[in-house]
Amino acid sequence: MADDKDQQFTRMWNEENKSKRAKFRNLMKAKLDVLHVEVTEENARAFWNGRLAVRQPERIYQMPERPESRRPPRRR
C-alpha cells in the first residue's frame, strides 16, 4: 500500500503534462504552507504518504477565561 502511494506521488510529481504537474505541486505547496514546512520533494512525499511529523506550534491566541459569576445579558 505504501509503495503504491509512493509510486503515485512520483508519477504526479514528475508528470509530463506541465499544467497537471504544476497543479499537483501547488496543492502540495498549499498543504505544506499551512503546516509551516519547507516545500521540498522529500517533505511533500512524506506528507502524501502520511509520514510527515510536524511539531504543533503553540497557540498564540487563547480564549480568555470567563468568570463563572458572569451571565448572558437579559432578554428584552
Kindly list the domain boundaries of the chain, sorted by start residue: 2-48
Which positions of the chain have pLDDT values less than 50? none
> Can you give the pLDDT at residue 69?
75
> Can you give the pLDDT at residue 47?
93
| CA 74 distance to own-chain centroid | 43
> Can you give the pLDDT at residue 25?
96
> Can you give the pLDDT at residue 12?
96
> Can you give the pLDDT at residue 61?
65
CA–CA distance, 71 with 44 (Å, rounded to integer): 48
> Can you give the pLDDT at residue 8?
94
Alpha-carbon dihedral angle through residues 55, 24, 46, 37, given to the nearest 10 degrees: -30
